[in-house]
Amino acid sequence: MANLKIPIILVNYKTYSEATGKKAVKLSKIAEDVSMETGVNVSVAPQLADIASVCDAVSIPVFAQHIDPIFPGSSTGHVLLESVKEAGAIGTLINHSERRLKLCDIEAIVARTRESNMISVVCTNNAAVSEAAAALQPDIVSLEPPELIGTGIPVSKSKPEVVTETVALVKHVNPDIVTLCGAGITKGDDVAAALKLGTMGVLVASGIVKAKDPRKVIMEFAEAINESLSDS
């Protein structure tokens, strides 16, 4: 994971209209602008069909939202690592709460990304699952309590003890694994709180994608990160 700067703001475009097709490219350019201006890593995870055009348009890190535990061959309708890599993605979300996977498939996908020098971000729903995910040796574990996703109630403020426990358990398994958190993150304050709890950034979706002014929100997040760094 030598090339991924942390802390990170990782923006999941989900299947939102506001981040589909040309709008995915436009939003990615905004993310890139803010990233260049602030020096903070703003990465994006567009839909599969948009990865290539986003990667053509920007130079910030681009992640897939999902890949399947398959090798090249007969897997119609599945997502091949080599395909998203050639399109320009440098990593992938795995096991997002809207795309939960079997344990053995998570292990197989993490192993695939490791061999292919892609960055693995395994999403988890609680501290116990985070520890289990860490045992698979991904690059990043991202805690997102599903009941908070899309609510605007920030995990970093409403469940700080779960974040702290997750950070500790993941670090205990392997101190090199980066922990992020997500769900309900909409303000710079929420990001600052996340860093204070020991995470190295946030996984965010509607808070940015569905914001009236996404640039303003990304900027607020990035500044919160820079302030946290200068405080510490």
Per-residue contact flags (x/-) with a second copy for residues 150 to 179, judged by CB under 8 A: x----------------------x------
| Residue type at position 144 | E
Q: Are 41 and 61 in contact (CB under 8 A)?
A: yes
Q: Is 96 a catalytic residue?
A: yes
Interaction with a second copy in 103-132: which residues (CB under 8 A)? 103-107, 111, 124-126, 128-129, 131-132
Closest distance to a second copy from the beta carbon of 69 (Å): 11
Q: How far apart are the first and last CA of the chain?
A: 23
Q: Are 65 and 14 in contact (CB under 8 A)?
A: yes
Q: Is 80 in the site for a second copy (CB under 8 A)?
A: yes
Closest CA to 154 of 127, 129, 182: 182
Q: Which range touches a second copy (CB under 8 A), out of 3-11, 15-23, 32-40, 224-232? A: 15-23
- Taking CB under 8 A as the criterion, the residue among 59, 75, 116, 117 binding a second copy is 75
Q: Is 147 in the site for a second copy (CB under 8 A)?
A: no
> In this structure, what token pair is assigned to residue 205?
């979706």
Q: Is 144 a catalytic residue?
A: yes
Q: Are 25 and 54 in contact (CB under 8 A)?
A: yes
Q: Are 109 and 139 in contact (CB under 8 A)?
A: no
| Residue type at position 43 | S
Closest distance to a second copy from the beta carbon of 137 (Å): 7
Closer residue to a second copy, CB minimum distance, 13 or 221: 13
- Taking CB under 8 A as the criterion, the residue among 136, 148, 192, 197 binding a second copy is 136
Closest CA to 199 of 134, 127, 139, 143: 143
CA angle 178, 131, 134 (to 5 degrees): 45
The site for a second copy (CB under 8 A) is made up of 12, 14-17, 20-22, 45, 47-53, 65-66, 70, 72-80, 82-84, 86-87, 93, 95-107, 111, 124-126, 128-129, 131-137, 149-150, 173, 205-206
Active-site residues, by number, are: 96, 144
